[in-house]
C-alpha cells in the first residue's frame, strides 16, 4: 500500500490529468473498529487505492462503494457493521460500526473539439460549475492559452490525436463545436473508432444536420445505434442564439446530467 501522506498530492495529480477518483473518509466509528474517524482512502477509477480506512473486508466493500460513486458522480454515505453476524465469511469479531463518506474529488472533464466562439464561451461558463476544460483544435491559434484562458488544457493537434488523448473518456463530456460539417464528421468517426465511452456526447447543430451526418457516418461503418447517443441539438432548450447563450444551455444540460443522472437529464 502506498504511503498515506501522498494522498492529497495524488488528488492534485489526478485533477491535472482529468482522471476520476473518490475520497473515502471515516465520518463516525462506534465500538471496536480498525478504522478511526478522519482516516481516508483514495480510490482511482481502475480500483487501485491509496491510504486506508482500517483494512479488512470492509475496506473492499468501501472500495466497491467508491467505484459506484465514480460511476454516478454523486457522493454516498454508508454505515457498516463490523461483526460476524452481518458478514459471516469475514471472521470479524470487532463488534463495532463505522460510517463512511465516499465523494468524487476530480470533476468531469469537458472536452471541446473546436476552439471558436462557442468553445471560448463554454470554457468560461464550465469553470464556474467546477468542470475541467480541454480545448482541441488543429489550428494552433484556436487551441492556446491566449485564446482560451479559462481552459485547463489546450491541444493544438489533429482530431485523431485529440481523441487519443482523451482515452476511454468514461469521466468526460465530449462536445463537438468545429468550424464545419466535415470536421464534425471526422471527430465523430474518430470517437467511435477509438471506442470512447463518454458520459455525454454532444454536437452543435440542427436535427437536419445530424441526420445528414448520420447517413455519411453509417456509410463509413459507424453503427446507427451508436450514433443515437449524440445529442444534437445540444444543451437545454432555452431558445439560445448567441455563443454565450449556447454555452449556458450546454453547461446547464451537463449540470443536470451530473446532479440528477441520465434518466432525468434525458428529458429536455
pLDDT tens for 229-244 read 999 999 999 999 999 9
Residue at a domain's end among 55, 76, 104: 104
Q: 51 with 85, same domain?
A: yes
The closest alpha carbon to 190, from 227, 221, 159, belongs to 159
Q: 18 with 142, same domain?
A: no
Q: 129 with 254, same domain?
A: yes
Residue 58: what pLDDT? 84
| Structural domain boundaries, residue 178 | 109-265
Q: What is the pLDDT of residues 79-99, one digit of tens each?
A: 988 765 444 444 555 567 889
Q: 77 with 202, same domain?
A: no
Do 65 and 139 form a contact (C-beta atoms < 8 A)?
Answer: no
| Number of compact structural domains in the chain | 2
Residue 18: what pLDDT? 83
Model pTM score: 0.85
User: Which triple of cell numbers denotes residue 74?
Assistant: 454523486
Q: 135 with 257, same domain?
A: yes
Asked if residue 1 has pLDDT above 50, the reply is: no
The closest alpha carbon to 123, from 112, 113, 114, belongs to 112
Q: 153 with 205, same domain?
A: yes
Q: 162 with 98, same domain?
A: no
Q: 87 with 139, same domain?
A: no
| Domain containing residue 250: CATH number | 3.40.50.720
Amino acid at each position: 500500500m502506498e504511503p498515506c501522506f501522498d494522498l492529497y498530492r495524488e488528488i492534485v495529480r489526478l485533477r491535472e490529468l482529468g482522471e476520476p477518483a473518490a475520497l473515502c473518509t471515516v465520518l463516525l466509528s462506534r465500538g471496536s473498529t480498525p478504522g478511526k474517524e478522519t482516516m481516508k482512502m483514495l480510490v482511482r477509477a481502475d480500483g487501485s487505492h491509496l491510504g486506508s480506512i482500517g483494512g479488512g473486508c470492509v475496506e473492499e466493500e468501501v472500495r466497491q462503494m467508491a467505484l459506484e460513486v465514480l460511476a454516478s458522480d454523486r457522493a454516498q454515505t454508508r454505515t457498516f457493521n463490523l461483526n460476524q453476524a452481518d458478514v459471516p465469511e469475514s471472521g470479524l469479531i470487532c463488534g463495532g460500526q463505522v460510517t463512511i463518506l465516499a465523494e468524487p474529488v476530480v470533476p468531469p472533464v469537458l472536452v471541446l473539439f473546436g476552439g471558436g466562439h462557442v468553445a471560448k464561451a463554454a470554457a468560461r461558463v464550465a469553470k464556474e460549475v467546477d468542470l475541467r476544460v480541454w480545448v482541441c483544435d488543429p489550428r494552433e491559434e484556436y487551441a492556446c492559452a491566449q485564446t482560451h484562458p479559462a481552459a485547463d488544457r489546450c491541444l493544438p493537434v489533429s482530431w485523431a490525436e485529440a481523441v487519443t488523448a482523451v482515452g476511454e473518456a468514461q469521466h468526460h463530456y465530449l462536445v463537438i463545436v468545429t468550424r464545419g460539417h466535415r470536421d464534425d464528421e471526422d471527430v465523430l468517426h474518430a470517437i467511435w473508432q477509438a471506442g470512447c465511452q463518454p458520459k455525454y456526447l454532444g454536437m452543435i447543430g440542427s436535427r437536419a444536420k445530424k441526420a445528414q451526418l448520420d447517413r455519411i457516418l453509417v456509410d463509413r461503418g459507424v453503427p446507427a445505434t451508436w450514433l443515437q447517443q449524440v445529442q444534437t441539438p445540444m444543451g437545454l432548450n432555452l431558445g439560445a442564439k448567441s455563443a454565450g447563450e449556447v454555452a449556458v444551455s450546454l453547461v446547464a444540460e451537463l449540470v443536470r446530467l451530473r446532479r440528477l443522472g441520465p434518466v432525468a437529464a434525458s428529458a429536455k
